[in-house]
Chains A and B, each alone.
Chain A
Amino acid sequence: MREWRYLLNGSSLALDAETCIGCGSCVEVCPHDVFLVEAGKARIRDRALCMECGACSRNCPVGALGVSSGVGCAAAIIAGKRGLASSGCGCSTDSSSSCC
């Protein structure tokens, strides 16, 4: 299966091995198979596959994962810069872009 890589992917992903209890929640929610659990601890298998969606950190029961998440959508970022949308992706409401 193809593995997709993008600029700066996964640069903000941080895993605190001390805190991790190896429950595998991150493995269960990650859409790009970034994690694996080895010897009772989660490990980042391939950081460059991470799109920083935030699913893992939101579902980590012990707060061992941190990532600065947001939409990787150019139209939303441009709209945000022009003050059209306060934050995140406002594209579905103005339908100016196909994202979301």
Chain B
Amino acid sequence: MTFTRVSAKSLLVDPSPLTVPNERYVTGFVESSGRLTPRIGTRLGIADIAGAWRVRLGIGRGRYRVRPGLYAVGAPTPASAVLVTANYKLSFDELRKRLSGIDAWIVVLDTKGVNVWCAAGKGSFGTKELVERLAKLSLKEVVAHRIIVLPQLAAPGVSAVEVATASGFRVVYGPVRAADLPAFLESGMKKDAAMRTVRFGLADRAVLGPLELVHAWPLAGAALALALLSALPFSGGFGSRLSAISSVLIGSVVLGSLGFPILLPALPFRSFALKGAALGTVWGLAGSILAAARPLGGVSLVLASSAIVSYLGLNFTGSSTYTCQTGTAREVKLGIPAMITAAALSVLAGGISAFSRY
């Protein structure tokens, strides 16, 4: 049986007015229990890879969504496993690319285009959405068993006990990483400590840098303004002062965005703001020496770059995988006033330096 792409769209369960960037992931249809379910491919194409890079740069992230509903991978039967995921396309792609050679049903929840863990934290990947989606999709008519596999990171939003009571399905929390799913399913749904634990390794951290940098542009603007002020007066080598000072300051924005995530475990202190302040201070000192800044100009550079990297470091709590709310709130409370003070002193020192011989 073959279908055109147009009929494919109309057959999808639960159509919603979302922007679907492409539906090339639907490769055909599976007929089971008198129903047609779209089958998704397990190989990512160039469009998927380009899309991943786009959202890593913050372009169209909120719109990078998959239509919620039921999908098939391979040739599932009523006995096949049911895997539940979020409708952020990056999450969906990460799941499907790991499922080559596996027959399973995929339930995509409407998490408003947000990844599993964050959606669970916000509640959109939650008990209510899950129970309602299972009923809407009549999953009980699709599979003969009553087990659904959720990503482990959905657990902050889902109560397995409540789901069982309300839907009749038993929730099994699968591995943290989709990459471990084949082994998990193969072993009869058993997971070891490594499958349960979030790692946050070098690659996990480094990939977050570009988005941090894209979001840091207002800070780069402020850094440039400070550089202009500190390079005054317009006479006697304004251009070379401006280029030296702005290199140090713009450099600190780049360092705080791209370097901080990479250096995170090597930086001293548990506090992200202090980690950033330490990194920024070292950078500012090195920059002042290299730029042969005047004494007060150097003080200004150190204060500014420590405030900049500290702020960016503090912001990285949102992307990190292990910061709690109490600690982050304390950092904001103590850190932000300190950063503002440092920035103000930096402007003062830069201004005095510009109009004196210091």
**Interaction A to B:** yes
- List A residues at the B interface (Cβ < 8 Å): 1-2, 4-12, 25, 27-33, 49-56, 58-59, 61, 68-78, 81, 88-89, 91-93, 95-100
CA of A9 to CA of B328 in the docked complex: distance in angstroms? 10
B122 touches A6 (CB 8 A): no
**Chain B residue at minimal CB-CB distance from A97:** B318
Chain B contact residues, majority secondary structure: helix
B325 touches A52 (CB 8 A): yes
B197 touches A5 (CB 8 A): no
B326 touches A68 (CB 8 A): yes
CA of A1 to CA of B7 in the docked complex: distance in angstroms? 49
Q: B306 → chain A, closest Cβ, in Å?
A: 17
B188-221 vs A, Cβ < 8 Å mask (1 yes, 0 no): 0001011011111100000010011001000000
Is the CB of B271 closer than 8 A to any CB of chain A?
yes
Q: How many residues of B contact A (CB 8 A)?
A: 60
How many A-B pairs have beta carbons closer than 8 Å: the answer is: 178
Residues of A within 8 A of B243 (CB): none
CA of A100 to CA of B259 in the docked complex: distance in angstroms? 20
CA of A69 to CA of B328 in the docked complex: distance in angstroms? 12
CA of A27 to CA of B192 in the docked complex: distance in angstroms? 10
B324 touches A33 (CB 8 A): no
- List B residues at the A interface (Cβ < 8 Å): 58, 61-62, 112-115, 117-122, 152-153, 155-161, 173, 176, 191, 193-194, 196-201, 208, 211-212, 215, 265, 270-272, 314-315, 317-332, 336
> Can you name 26 A-B residue pairings with CB atoms under 8 Å?
A1-B197, A2-B200, A6-B270, A6-B322, A6-B323, A8-B330, A29-B152, A31-B176, A51-B324, A53-B155, A54-B121, A55-B156, A59-B160, A59-B161, A61-B161, A72-B324, A72-B325, A74-B315, A74-B318, A77-B325, A78-B332, A89-B121, A89-B318, A96-B215, A100-B121, A100-B318
